[in-house]
Amino acid sequence: MEKTASFITNTSDPLNNTGSPGTAVAYFDSIIYGKSKVEATLVNPLDPRYATILKGLKDKTVTKEIFTNPYFSKNSCSLATEIAYVVDYSSSMKAVDPTNYRGKKMIELINQIKAKNNIVIETNTKATVLGEGTTENVLKKDLYKASKDKGATDIFAGIDIALTKFSNDTKTSKAIVVVSDGKTSKSKMTKAINEAKKQGVKVYTISMGKKSQINDATLMQVAEQTGGAYFHAIDNLQLHQVFQKLVDTILCKTPASSCINPEDLFEETSVSLRKGYITMSARIDGNCSNVAKMNVRFNSVSGDVQFDLQKRSDSVYMLTKTVQTMQDFKVNNDIEFIAYDKDGNIIAMKTVTMTN
């Protein structure tokens, strides 16, 4: 979907306190939720008074990706539930989520599920209960709005407290939702897993950030051994998608697939040229287990050139070729990564450009 809007310049307060002198603001008649690409171009002749200031923008298109927080879909099921929400606010989370999107989105998740009993916990070096009780009562509190990233990580301190707060009501479904980078003390892990299994509490774990920023092994183990599921969200949009899946999984009791969205399968892709060698690499969402083959396609005026990447791990594919391999082809800048399932169907595609 494409939308076009003109800029209003030098605005001081035209709409809802937005804009300020010296800024240019574009107003759209509707919102595109999720990730969008915005392009801005100066199309009018430059005012001579501002020619020096704006010369860097002349005949140039500025591109930026923006994110608008999406809404959850309407709940398709209802269920009497008790849920503990454990969110990591250790120092290492500052690099993963500098805007505290996890806290804001968790508050939305609490409101969306509307559990019979909510246990809201912040954890770093120690765990703190921020609120407990009905959805209406806990949402009256600040919850994660004022939470700050500090100290070490101990998600099991939070899980331990949560497990003491559930009722003995056998008719309610019980779960714990954990958001963390997984860099946690594991001294209480075995005890927490055993107690969760004893109480019949499923633990759903979510890691945030790039693979290099997280330790997913612990989060996977906790989820697997308690009958929950592990998810990895590389950005804010994927965290929203994970939470949407959790709403359906918890309220509808549907099996949880950790593969968030095939459209977001590719986490990192690159094609680089170094010292006569072309290196192609792709890192995919390791939770999507249906990838059987990874292909890279170079588009050329004399015919496409394709290579099958070699699988280096559950989530990494790579291949290196000499430049001579491509010498007979005049390839375009756009290079396509294509993921296939075992039946040869395309799961996902991503286009990149080569770097030197």
Q: What is the pLDDT of residue 34?
A: 81
Q: What is the pLDDT of residue 200?
A: 95
Q: What is the pLDDT of residue 203?
A: 97
Place of tokens 């075995």: 190
- pLDDT tens digit sequence for 5-47: 666 555 555 555 555 655 666 666 667 778 777 887 777 777 7
pLDDT of 336 over the 60 cut: yes
Look at 101-110, 240-249, 284-293 and tell me which has the smallest mean pLDDT.
Answer: 284-293
Q: What is the pLDDT of residue 145?
A: 92
pLDDT of 295 over the 60 cut: yes
Place of tokens 């399932």: 341
What is the spatial distance between Cα 126 and Cα 270, in angstroms, rounded to a whole number? 40
Q: Pick the more confident residue, 174 or 241.
A: 174
Average pLDDT over all residues of the chain: 86
89 — pLDDT class (breaks 50, 70, 90):
very high
Report, as an integer, the average pLDDT of 275-279: 88
Q: What is the pLDDT of residue 84?
A: 98
Task: Give percent above pLDDT 90 in the chain.
Answer: 51
Q: What is the pLDDT of residue 27?
A: 64
Report, as an integer, the average pLDDT of 322-349: 80
Beta 331-340 vs 293-300: how paired, if at all? antiparallel
